[in-house]
Copies of this chain bind each other. A is one copy, B any other.
Amino acid sequence: MDAIDTRLPHLVVIGGGFAGLWATRALAKAPLRITLLDRSNHHLFQPLLYQVATAGLSAPDIAAPLRHILRRQCNVQVRLGEATGIDPAARRVALADGGALGFDYLLLASGATHAYFGNDQWAAHAPGLKSLDDALHLRRQLLLAFERAEACDDPAERAAWLSFAVVGGGPTGVELAGTLAEIARHTLKDEFRRIDPASARVRLVEAGPRVLASFPEELSRKARRQLERLGVEVSTGVPVTAIDGGGYRLGEDYVHARTVVWAAGVAASPLARALGVPLDRAGRVIVEPDLSVPGHPHVFVAGDLAAVQRADGRPVPGVAPAAKQMGRHVAASLRARLRGVQAGAFGYRDFGNLATIGRMAAVVDLHGFKLSGLLAWWFWLAAHVFFLIGFRNRLVVLLNWAWAYWSYQRAARIILGRDREGPVPPA
């Protein structure tokens, strides 16, 4: 316990993701008292969330308690709670529990959620992947699908349980589809008596012309080939037009599939609207060059919620390195402001782009230097383990991966959750 000097200006940071946490840490020595507000008690290493969803890692492997990370930073108070509204003029954040937080400065870094492009009824049938709870829900659904297929006597129904679709050909969709194919073809081998898991249909559906559209065309082609080699059916150029509990419609065709995963779109956190300032089409806040909000210089936005352009006019992508850089820039802007100096403009430093596809398959694009296949996969692995927060987590994750690599097994194949979401079909 360490009381905080209440005479200092108060910065409220909403969101303990990469942007919020990196800003907070960069302000360790600033003459500010900081309240970090998050709905979860942990910082999440989102780039590995798909590994929790596909039973490769445990939830705690990729998360660390915010309190623990910040325990030695005496000017920070971590607060578990949810912001429901922001009044930038009155400098108040309304909380879900009925309380409120006054602030002198605000950093809004509440990130993004799934977007179903106006088809919110799809959410019930095609869950997305943003939080640890989402990942555990998805894991449960993926593992239960094979259990239900095994218990099922009707061949058509069984085939529907063994039919999986991942909607969205971005990095998350590619990772999920590749890993799902590996599970069906390798992990579950020999474990069922009535079904052959390797006969499962794993389909990756992308409405645009190619997967991994943010990569050079050559790498998109290679990624597609690597996916197909892993056993994923890749469909591009045709949009999904309907999703219900029994399957999905692709263009004109209805495909029976009991498991549809949504990896197609993200929308900015609804808190952005509370600011009452112009948003872009995805609901992100169009910020000033120093990442403050137009008309509210004491309010900043960073991470996936901020719409920022690069020097060449392309948008800054919604990836972890960009969020960290923005967080650090907000910290620098604030420090400048407290010294009475004008803050500089944010410049995104692009280190490159990498995506994993599955066992020994990935693509890496480092400013024209392109890698794919096994070498890219090692590069991806090293980068992700290196950036994972916490020494212990790195060790556990490495151990899990080494084990998974040699044994084709996955460490976290445990179905959790009380409610079984409807009865198992009679056998």
- Nearest to A41 among chain B residues (CB) is B415
Determine whether A3 belongs to the interface, using a CB cutoff of 8 Å to chain B. Answer: yes
Q: What 1/0 flags go to A186-208 for Cβ under 8 Å of B?
A: 00111111111000000000000
Determine whether A209 belongs to the interface, using a CB cutoff of 8 Å to chain B. Answer: no
Determine whether A238 belongs to the interface, using a CB cutoff of 8 Å to chain B. Answer: no
Known A97-B424, A132-B416; judge A80-B396 contact (CB<8 A).
Answer: no
Q: What residues on B are CB-neighbors of A336 within 8 Å? A: none
Determine whether A65 belongs to the interface, using a CB cutoff of 8 Å to chain B. Answer: yes
Determine whether A60 belongs to the interface, using a CB cutoff of 8 Å to chain B. Answer: yes
Inter-chain contact B191/A71, CB cutoff 8 Å: yes
Which of B65, B68, B77 makes the CB contact (< 8 A) with A193? Answer: B77
Known A96-B423, A98-B426; judge A412-B42 contact (CB<8 A).
Answer: no
Determine whether A81 belongs to the interface, using a CB cutoff of 8 Å to chain B. Answer: yes
- Give A60 to B139 CA distance when docked, in angstroms: 12
- Nearest to A81 among chain B residues (CB) is B424
Q: Shortest Cβ distance from A24 into chain B, in angstroms?
A: 14
Which A66-83 residues have a C-beta within 8 angstroms of B? 67-68, 71-72, 77-81
Which A396-427 residues have a C-beta within 8 angstroms of B? 396, 399-400, 403, 407, 409, 411-418, 423-427
Q: Shortest Cβ distance from A348 into chain B, in angstroms?
A: 31
Q: Which of A67, A193, A392, A396 has the most CB of B within 10 A?
A: A193
Determine whether A4 belongs to the interface, using a CB cutoff of 8 Å to chain B. Answer: yes
Which A38-82 residues have a C-beta within 8 angstroms of B? 40-42, 55, 58-61, 63, 65, 67-68, 71-72, 77-81
Determine whether A2 belongs to the interface, using a CB cutoff of 8 Å to chain B. Answer: yes
Inter-chain contact B41/A147, CB cutoff 8 Å: yes
Which of B42, B151, B414 makes the CB contact (< 8 A) with A42? Answer: B414
Q: What residues on B are CB-neighbors of A71 within 8 Å? A: 189-191
- Give A60 to B133 CA distance when docked, in angstroms: 15
Q: What residues on B are CB-neighbors of A414 within 8 Å? A: 41-42, 59-60, 63, 65, 132
Q: What 1/0 flags go to A306-324 for Cβ under 8 Å of B?
A: 0000000000000000000
- Nearest to A419 among chain B residues (CB) is B133
- Nearest to A153 among chain B residues (CB) is B99
Number of interface residues of A (CB under 8 A): 66
Q: Which of A81, A190, A416 has the most CB of B within 10 A?
A: A416
Inter-chain contact B423/A411, CB cutoff 8 Å: no
Q: Shortest Cβ distance from A6 into chain B, in angstroms?
A: 11
- Give A3 to B150 CA distance when docked, in angstroms: 12
Inter-chain contact B396/A191, CB cutoff 8 Å: no
- Give A403 to B396 CA distance when docked, in angstroms: 11
Inter-chain contact A415/B190, CB cutoff 8 Å: no
Inter-chain contact A413/B68, CB cutoff 8 Å: yes
- Give A151 to B4 CA distance when docked, in angstroms: 15
Other than the known A1-B193, A79-B151, A80-B147, what 10 A-B pairs have Cβ atoms closer than 8 Å?
Answer: A1-B190, A42-B413, A59-B412, A60-B412, A81-B151, A81-B424, A132-B414, A392-B411, A395-B399, A396-B399
30 cross-chain CB contacts under 8 A: A1-B192, A1-B193, A3-B193, A4-B193, A41-B143, A41-B415, A42-B413, A42-B414, A42-B415, A58-B59, A58-B60, A59-B59, A59-B414, A59-B416, A68-B191, A68-B413, A71-B191, A77-B193, A80-B415, A81-B424, A95-B426, A96-B423, A96-B424, A97-B426, A392-B403, A392-B409, A392-B411, A395-B399, A396-B411, A399-B399
